[in-house]
Amino acid sequence: MSNTELTALIDESFKEFKEGQIINGTILSISQQVVVVDIGYKSEGAIMSSEFEDEEIEVGDVVEVFLQKLENDDGLIVLSKEKAAYKQNWDKIVGVYEDGGLVKGKVKSVVKGGLVVNVGVEAFLPGSQIDIIPPKDLNEYVGNIYEFKIVKVNDDRKNIVLSRREVIEAEREELRQRFMDSVKNGDIVTGQVKNITDFGAFIDLEGMDGLLHITDMSWGRITHPSEMLHIGKEIEVQVLEVDRDKERVSLGLKQMSENPWEDIEARFPISTQVKGKVTKLLPYGAFIEIEKGVEGLVHVSELSWVKRITRPSDVLEMGQEIEAVVLGISIDEQKISLGVRQLEANPWDEIEARYPIGSKISGSVRNLTAYGAFVGLEEGIDGMIHVSDLSWTRKINHPSEVIKKGDNVEATVLAIDKENQRVSLGIKQMEVDPWEEIETKFKVGDLVSGTVAKIASFGAFVNLEGDIDGLIHISQISEGHVERVKDALNVADPVEARVIKVDRMERRIGLSVKAVSYSEDQLKKESASFESLKPSSDLVGLEQAFNMATGTESNEEWSPSGE
């Protein structure tokens, strides 16, 4: 063969090598810095040893390398083991992407907005595509291997975007369909608490979310699902209803145990004494757990016979063990009414034996109101002295005019109302009613002296001897016309007058200033004239007139608390 022919043959063989190719080469030597590889070209190529750090290689091994340059400035070919692998992996990734397949990769690091994943080449996994539930800490994923779906490939920029979420959703969809095809009412399934709301919890059942409503969590009373569950908790539940059209599953937890309300009346008959623990305190009462899943309510009014308890928390604490009595049961509403005061005798049952009508009592004034005074008889039981029962003769506007809080007083028991828990007392009844003997002290025609106590539009009240009030009607003040009582008389003015009317039944004494100098005949005439006045207009009963004068006439109702 001529030299020309040999040169042409060599040139032809060299033409088979193109930059950017992946070709096979044989390792000729290995050192700490470089690995020398023969690819059958006119010269060998050197590859940095670091590109083989994950492989065990020996002289004579055939390896795939990337031909970067056929000749550099030193006349050597430039090869790369890593770039050969990268190009192979890239081509493989593009193929998987075009086929819609999945690729495995290892999470390499956390970057802004997501994770870097090594799938043979570096790819980006956005934070929104990591999981179906947004992750709290991306570092938890670093170092882990997952399957991903390739959602975007940019060949020019060599960018790859991955999604793990789509893989999970696809798996869940398959599991959901499998679950919906096989599940039936009554099945017991295991799931994990995925989310908690005010009305219940969503349970992940291998891809299918089921709703566990708060009313199906416990036979007892709970105010929020978080009292029993937390996110991530694994629980067994019963399938209550499956709606395949809407792909909804209703679950129950309490149905996994017997209903404690089924034979509740047999286990807790009315009047039974029970023990329990305070589980909740509300303004209107306290809930007591008497067994698991069964709670009763002690209304605030059932805590004491005599103490006025405003809030249950004033006398009870959370977790406190107490005894109570069963008062009533409603199976339909799953309610039990309990009472604590029924553990003791009702002090009002025998109140009449301890305080007979007409008996005398003594006690301290506990409180004053506009209409009376409350006197403590024993712990929790007060008697009330109405303002009208403080004095036979004085017209008292407010109890504070004669007694004050803390005073020790004696009184007579007037009446007892057990149903409404009221004891009526009277101070004036401790003495004889002076009006019974009024005609022996005051007679028509008597000349009397006194002091003006109160002024009204129709006349003036005068305090007479014996602490008895008489009324000077406006027409009896002067011979001349009096437009206003205040024009002629004022409170505390001394007055001399004649008695022109004494009415024991109506407790009324009529007085006249102008009749002081009248003769006996004139006095009789004036008395007759006074008598002709109509109580409904010109003259009223003394007590009613007094109330009208002071503005104290009212229909105040009894309040045992005196409040």
Question: Is the same domain home to 148 and 188?
Answer: no
Question: Is the same domain home to 268 and 372?
Answer: no
pLDDT, residue 20, reads 64
Question: Is the same domain home to 456 and 524?
Answer: yes
Q: Does residue 558 lie in a domain region?
A: no
Question: Is the same domain home to 86 and 110?
Answer: no
pLDDT, residue 221, reads 74
pLDDT one-digit tens code per residue, 167-199: 888 888 887 888 887 888 888 888 889 889 999
Q: Which residues contact 369 (CB under 8 A, 6 or more apart)?
A: 399, 556, 559, 562, 563
What is the biggest distance separating any 2 CA atoms in the chain, rounded to whole angstroms? 185
Domain boundary among 116, 134, 168: 168
Token pair, residue 43, equals 């010269």
Q: Which portions of the chain are predicted below pLDDT 70?
A: 1-15, 19-20, 50-51, 54, 66, 69, 72-75, 80-85, 88, 157, 529-563
Q: Does residue 226 lie in a domain region?
A: yes
Residues in the chain: 563
Specify whether the CB–CB gap between 411 and 361 falls below 8 A. Answer: yes
Question: Is the same domain home to 439 and 522?
Answer: yes
Question: Is the same domain home to 478 and 541?
Answer: yes
Alpha-carbon distance 204 to 206, whole Å? 6
Q: Does residue 403 lie in a domain region?
A: yes
Strand partners, 330: 335
pLDDT, residue 73, reads 64
Specify whether the CB–CB gap between 371 and 386 falls below 8 A. Answer: yes
Token pair, residue 187, equals 């099945």
Q: Does residue 504 lie in a domain region?
A: yes
- CA neighbor of 326 nearest in space, from 271, 285, 277: 271
Question: Is the same domain home to 233 and 282?
Answer: no
Alpha-carbon distance 372 to 374, whole Å? 7
Q: Does residue 79 lie in a domain region?
A: yes
Looking at 422-467, which runs of residues are DSSP E strands?
422-426, 447-456, 459-464
- Tell me, what amino acid is at 452? V
Q: Does residue 125 lie in a domain region?
A: yes
Give the predicted TM-score (pTM) of the model. Answer: 0.44
Other C-beta atoms within 10 Å of 372: how many? 24
Rounded alpha-carbon distances, angstroms, from residue 133 to 128, 136, 199, 228: 9, 9, 21, 22
Q: Does residue 142 lie in a domain region?
A: yes
Q: What is the 3-state secondary structure (H, E, C) of 126-147?
A: EHHHCCCCCCCCHHHHCCCEEE
pLDDT, residue 531, reads 65
How many structural domains are present in the chain? 6
Token pair, residue 293, equals 């899943």
Question: Is the same domain home to 510 and 536?
Answer: yes
Alpha-carbon distance 526 to 424, whole Å? 42
CATH number at residue 45: 2.40.50.140
Other C-beta atoms within 10 Å of 316: how many? 19
SS3 87: helix
- Tell me, what amino acid is at 177? Q
Question: Is the same domain home to 70 and 145?
Answer: no
Question: Is the same domain home to 546 and 438?
Answer: yes
Question: Is the same domain home to 34 and 76?
Answer: yes
Domain boundary among 63, 81, 99: 99
Determine whether 550 is exposed, middle or buried from the number of CB atoms within 10 Å of its CB (0-12, 13-18, 19+). Answer: middle
Alpha-carbon distance 561 to 446, whole Å? 47
What is the span of the domain harbouring residue 248?
183-256
Domain boundary among 430, 464, 494: 430
Angle, CA 191 vertex, CA 188 and CA 197 arms, to 5°: 115
SS3 63: strand
Alpha-carbon distance 266 to 269, whole Å? 6
Which string of DSSP letters, residue by residue, matches 457-500?
A: TTEEEEEETTTEEEEEEGGGS-SS--S-GGGT--TT-EEEEEEE
Q: Does residue 222 lie in a domain region?
A: yes
Question: Is the same domain home to 539 and 497?
Answer: yes
- Tell me, what amino acid is at 6? L
